[in-house]
């Protein structure tokens, strides 16, 4: 029996695909071992969203070869699409498998082990020309209590800083019946919460033929009917999908978690234009207002890029004040990093690294203040918490999980709580991130 180890880099879509590849290997008779152990095959599902991600991908590929120089090292995913020819020349890499070819992992390995001296030429396709959704699926998720479900791939937005449309291709959606079947299987296996993910989730269904066209909202309504499923959460949403009609339907579905990640990137209209984002700061703010009107104290989280080319100190200050006005639960703050092959990399007025760091630090401080403020707003309220793992604090052992708003809460450790939803009143904050839950019942 051959041993295989997998390592994932990047987004939740990549995580899903890594889980799916692992199950393909398991079904083919491979023994899955931790990445740090010696294996016969190492699969690294790479990321290429930034130049730093490229570097990390190369590092992991070389680390795998160092773990066992005789092993077959497989580079898969987005970095392969961006730099496939370069990787083919890398002595640490034995096989390269691009996006939309991961389903063929086992057969590609079998061909390699059977003595084929040359790598198949079609393991990297022109991803920009395909309209086929790669049919990967999962039956379980290793040691997790919520299941991330990939329903969409590709992106047609072409933000000026982003390489993803070139490494993931055009929008491609998964058939709704396949999504429902997978979620049903996972629910029957005990998963109570699913998270819908995609490269550009809001574009789900736009690639279907006119007579078959359905929207993300249609898919959500269908999933909501699955028996045994308790919670539906979303990955990143495009602000423009948040309309009165969209949110009105969501607010009537009791399985929807009031936790919405709306990607912003900047609160300054001039910067948004250079980024090729297709909304204004006011339109985004109005979307937040629609959500807050329909849901009680929903969690709204976002991404912000600082130091984008041409961002003056005045433009940054517009963004900072805007963020203060919106009041996010959490913000993922990124310093702009040049990505070769994108329009932004060639833009004038690149911001010095020291200035990016200073701006990032300002926003991280603001993020911490707003996040604590949001968590504290739940003290004394009733909550349902999906228990996920053990947690040590001040010498005591707890079970920790998340509320429907994705706020961390803990209860005293008790055997058998993992994967269960418990209800109670949120009491004192044990630290800046965790609230104690006084249990009054258990589902």
Q: Do 118 and 131 sit in the same domain of this protein?
A: no
Backbone angles phi, psi at 77, to 5 degrees: 95, -150
Look at residue 250 and tell me if it is in a domain.
no
Task: Judge whether residue 126 has pLDDT over 50.
Answer: yes
CATH code of 437's domain: 2.40.50
- Distance of alpha carbon 248 from its chain centroid, rounded? 25
| pLDDT confidence bin for 441, thresholds 50/70/90 | very low
Contact by Cβ (8 Å): 426, 383: yes
In a domain, 154, yes or no: yes
| Structure tokens that stand for 46 in this block | 């790479």
Q: Is residue 307 part of a domain?
A: yes
- Domain coverage including residue 73: 3-125
pLDDT by residue (tens digit) across 277-304? Answer: 999 999 999 999 999 999 999 999 999 9
pLDDT of 143 = 61
Q: How many residues does the chain have?
A: 443
**How far is C-alpha 27 from the geometric centre of its chain's CA atoms?**
26
Q: Looking at the structure, do residues 63 and 167 belong to the same domain, yes or no?
A: no
Domain count, the chain: 4
pLDDT mean across residues, the chain: 94
d(CA 146, CA 408): 15
Residue 330 located in a structural domain? yes
Question: Is residue 367 domain-shared with residue 387, that is, in the same domain?
Answer: no
Give me the CATH number covering residue 56. Answer: 3.40.50.12160
If asked whether residues 105 and 157 sit together in one domain, one would say no
Percent of the chain at pLDDT > 70 equals 97
pLDDT of residue 118: 55
pLDDT average, residue stretch 305-322: 98
The answer on pLDDT for 120 being more than 70 is no
pTM summary value: 0.93
Residue 84 lies in a domain: yes
Do 228 and 173 share a structural domain?
A: yes
**pLDDT tens track for 227-247:** 999 999 999 999 999 999 999
Contact 410, 398 (CB under 8 A): yes
Residue 4 clears pLDDT 80, i.e. is over it = yes
User: What contacts 225, CB < 8 A, 6 or more positions away?
Assistant: none
pLDDT digits (tens, 9 = 90+) for 163-175: 999 999 999 999 9
pLDDT at residue 17, as a whole number:
96
Q: What pLDDT was estimated at residue 340?
A: 87
Mean pLDDT of 26-54: 95
2 has a pLDDT exceeding 80: yes
Could you tell me the two tokens for 250?
A: 């969501």
- The shares of helix, strand and coil residues in the chain, as percent rounded to the nearest 5, are 40, 25, 40
Report the alpha-carbon distance of residue 195 to residue 256 in Å, rounded.
10
Residue 109 has pLDDT above 50, yes or no: yes
Q: Which range, of 104-118, 208-222, 230-244, 415-429, averages the lowest pLDDT? A: 104-118
**Same-domain pairing of 103 and 147:** no
* Same domain assignment for residues 195 and 302: no
Residue 49 DSSP symbol: S
Is residue 277 in a domain?
Answer: yes
| DSSP-derived secondary structure letter, 273 | H
Tokens of 85: 């020819």
What is the CATH classification number for the domain harbouring 287? 3.30.750.200
Q: What is the pLDDT of residue 128?
A: 82
**Token couple for 364:** 């991280």
Render pLDDT for 135-179 as a digit per residue (tens, 0 to 9).
Answer: 899 987 766 789 999 999 999 999 999 999 999 999 999 999 999
The answer to whether the Cα torsion of 114, 119, 120, 122 is positive or negative is positive
pLDDT at 194 over 70: yes
Check if the beta carbon of residue 194 is closer than 8 Å to that of residue 203: no
* pLDDT at residue 442 in the model: 46
CA distances from 327 to 297, 370, 371, 390, 404 (A): 11, 6, 9, 31, 19
Q: Residues 338-361: what's their mean pLDDT?
A: 96
- pLDDT digits over 74-108, tens only? 999 999 999 999 999 999 999 999 999 999 999 99
């Amino acid at each position: 029996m051959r041993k295989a180890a997998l390592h994932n880099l990047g987004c939740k879509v990549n995580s899903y695909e890594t889980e799916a590849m692992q199950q393909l290997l398991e079904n083919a008779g491979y023994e899955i071992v931790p990445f740090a152990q010696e294996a016969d095959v190492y699969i690294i599902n790479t990321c290429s969203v930034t130049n730093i991600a490229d570097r990390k991908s190369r590092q992991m590929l070389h680390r795998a070869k160092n773990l066992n120089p005789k092993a077959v090292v497989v580079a898969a995913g987005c970095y392969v699409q961006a730099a496939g020819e370069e990787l083919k020349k890398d002595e640490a890499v034995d096989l390269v498998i691009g996006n939309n070819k991961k389903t063929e992992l086992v057969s590609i390995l079998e061909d390699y082990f059977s003595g084929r001296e040359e790598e198949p030429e079609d393991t990297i396709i022109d991803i920009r020309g395909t309209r086929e959704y790669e049919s990967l699926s999962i039956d379980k998720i290793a040691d997790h209590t919520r299941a991330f479900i990939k329903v969409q791939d590709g992106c047609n937005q072409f933000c000026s800083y982003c390489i993803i449309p070139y490494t993931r291709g055009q929008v491609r959606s998964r058939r709704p019946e396949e999504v429902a079947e997978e979620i049903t299987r996972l629910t029957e296996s005990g998963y109570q919460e699913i998270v819908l993910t995609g490269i550009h989730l809001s574009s789900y269904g736009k690639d279907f033929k006119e007579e078959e066209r359905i929207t993300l909202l249609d898919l959500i309504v269908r999933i909501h009917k699955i028996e045994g499923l308790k919670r539906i959460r979303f990955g990143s949403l495009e602000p423009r999908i948040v309309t009165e009609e969209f949110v009105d339907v969501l607010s009537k579905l009791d399985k929807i978690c009031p936790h919405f990640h709306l990607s912003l990137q900047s609160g300054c209209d001039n910067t948004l234009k250079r980024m090729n984002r297709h909304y204004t700061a006011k339109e985004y703010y109005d979307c937040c207002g629609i959500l807050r009107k329909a849901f009680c104290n929903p969690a709204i989280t976002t991404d912000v890029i600082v130091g984008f080319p041409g961002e003056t100190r005045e433009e940054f200050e517009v963004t900072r004040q805007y963020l203060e006005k919106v009041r996010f639960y959490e913000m993922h703050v990124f310093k702009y990093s040049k990505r070769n092959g994108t329009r932004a990399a060639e833009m004038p007025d690149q911001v010095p690294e020291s200035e990016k760091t200073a701006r990032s630090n300002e926003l991280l401080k603001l993020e911490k203040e707003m996040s604590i403020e949001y968590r504290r707003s739940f003290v004394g309220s009733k909550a349902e918490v999906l228990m996920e793992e053990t947690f040590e604090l001040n010498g005591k052992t707890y079970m920790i999980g998340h509320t429907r708003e994705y706020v961390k809460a803990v209860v005293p450790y008790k055997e058998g709580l993992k994967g269960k939803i418990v209800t109670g009143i949120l009491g004192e904050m044990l630290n800046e991130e965790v609230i104690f839950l006084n249990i009054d019942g258990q589902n």
